[in-house]
Chains A and B, each alone.
Chain A
Amino acid sequence: MKDSRSNGAGAAPKVLSVAGLRKAYGGTVAVDGVSFEVARGEIVGLLGPNGAGKTTTINMILGVLEPTAGTIHVEGLDVGRERSRALGCTNFAAVYAPLPGNLTVAQNLRVFGMLYGVARLSQRIEELLTEFDLLPFRDAKCGVLSSGEQTRVALAKAMLNRPHLLLLDEPTASLDPASAQETRARMRRFAAGGECGVLWTSHNMYEVEEVCDRVLFVSKGRVLLEGDPKTLPAEHGRDSLEELFIAVAREPLTLMQSEVA
């Protein structure tokens, strides 16, 4: 079988390469020519107001939505052509995709561990139950857990296959501040391991500043700004990332013009 891995000779190793990504529903364009990359060990924030195209972009990376145009490569594997192999080294957690509530935590982890072909699965499940403080809930059905506990189960599932690309869509939205801080620290440690790149969406700009190495501001399906979350606000005459976010949401055209200038 032909291997479609692209070497990207000379460039830093990228776990995710998105090029010219576009999604249109009839005349409505949800994502309009988005291009970006995520490197190993990097956490990239995908930011933008509701309806900006973040989740549409994530759905296309996950292979559950076909792009109208553009390409997505995970570890050099074309998601369109080698979906199963590409998704084998990917995983995700999203508030809108809870694990089946009628299975227990351990059962869910076993089923998804088998789907991702995880070696020494029983041992891996034990590690994750311990790491995410889920041991007391091992035999509890996911549907009866609190939203914060369910989020931790979803994160444990997302880590099952030690993914090279991890997509986290508002992963701390249901967590209390202490749990959210622990989750951010855990994800930073995971990314710092150097094998995994993380694409992270959040509306919590404090969190983004703390956790992301780089951010992409998306509005109306386009990437408007890109840069270091610590320096980007000042570069655009704003005091904080939150102010910059509000500006992107309210005055995207102004920002686009200032970018061009």
Chain B
Amino acid sequence: MKAGRAAAIFLRQLYLLRGSLARVLPLFAWITVDIVLWGFITRYLNTVAAPGYNFVPALLGAVLLWDFFSRVMHGVTTAFLEDVWARNFLNFFASPLKISEYLAGLVLSSVATSAVGLLVMLVLASAVFGLSFAGYGLLLVPFLLVLFLFGIALGVVGAAVVLRFGPASEWFVWPLPALVSPFAGVFYPLSTLPLWMRGLGRALPPSYVFEGMRAVVAGGEAAWAPLAWGVLLAVVYVLLACWLFVRVHRHVVRTGLLARYSAETV
């Protein structure tokens, strides 16, 4: 793998972001709305619920972490979709670029764009609504790591779906985080769910983050073992997602879908 080629993919995204309000604004606009909305909801809940329980770290913290995950996922898929929208596949895939280098470039792009989103959310949530990250302690690192890795995995899966089924299938991809959230127990413990949903939830790395976060907020011990399992699971998902993308790429090259991509000859 040559770093220069991955850097080229990243540079293309930087060029696109530079001076494009339509691309820069979504990096923080919707998550800002989310933090403001949920910030006030948590304030309200703190006034009506039993005294002693603080909804801010539990609910607003969950929103922030979930939005970070969504930003990471969308960071990968948006970078990929730029090539779909610009009909650029032929130029890229008829160059020496390897799939590993292309995916690395998409991940680098997502790191940059999701970091902007995370920074805005952290400043807003702590400055306006008093969310303190000191409460999470060092666990914040594995929390973010798991969500980052799973966001990358889901983003690569989304890209594979669009590569396989054509430009119109991007509409399958945008709602993927919303599809995952009920199973991941973002706002409630997994024990709330029926057994079959709980089983699915345990197979999703973010569920270990949100269970861990609630345990910390409730004053419990730092549960490192389940989080380590979550990290391992997320790494497996990243590998599986990359494998899927490579398989799909081989398929579209063999069947001619890549060469005739915009025709959507599924």
Contact = CB atoms under 8 A, between A and B. Distances in A.
Interface of A: 23, 25, 56, 59, 62-66, 83-85, 87-88, 92, 94, 96-104, 107, 110-112, 114-117, 157
B244 interface: no
A163 B242 CA distance: 31
A111 B12 contact: yes
A103 B86 CA distance: 10
B245 to A, nearest CB: 16
Nearest to B1: A84
Contact of A84 (B82, B88, B98, B255): B98
- Please report whether the interface of chain A is mostly helix, strand, loop or mixed according to DSSP: mixed
Contacts of A107: 12, 15
B258 A64 contact: yes
Query: Shortest 10 CB-CB distances between A and B: which pairs?
Result: A114-B8, A62-B94, A100-B86, A88-B96, A97-B90, A66-B254, A84-B96, A59-B259, A115-B95, A87-B96
A156 to B, nearest CB: 13
Given A100-B82, A102-B86, A111-B8, 9 more contacts: A65-B253, A65-B258, A84-B97, A87-B94, A94-B90, A97-B91, A100-B12, A100-B88, A112-B95
Which size class do B's interface residues fall under?
Answer: 20 to 34
- Please report whether the interface of chain B is mostly helix, strand, loop or mixed according to DSSP: helix
Nearest to A63: B94
A117 B15 contact: no
B187 to A, nearest CB: 38
Contacts of B256: 23, 25, 59, 65
19 contacts: A56-B259, A62-B90, A64-B89, A65-B258, A66-B250, A87-B94, A92-B94, A94-B90, A96-B90, A97-B90, A97-B91, A98-B87, A99-B91, A100-B86, A102-B16, A103-B12, A110-B11, A111-B15, A114-B11
Given A66-B253, A101-B86, A115 B96 contact: yes
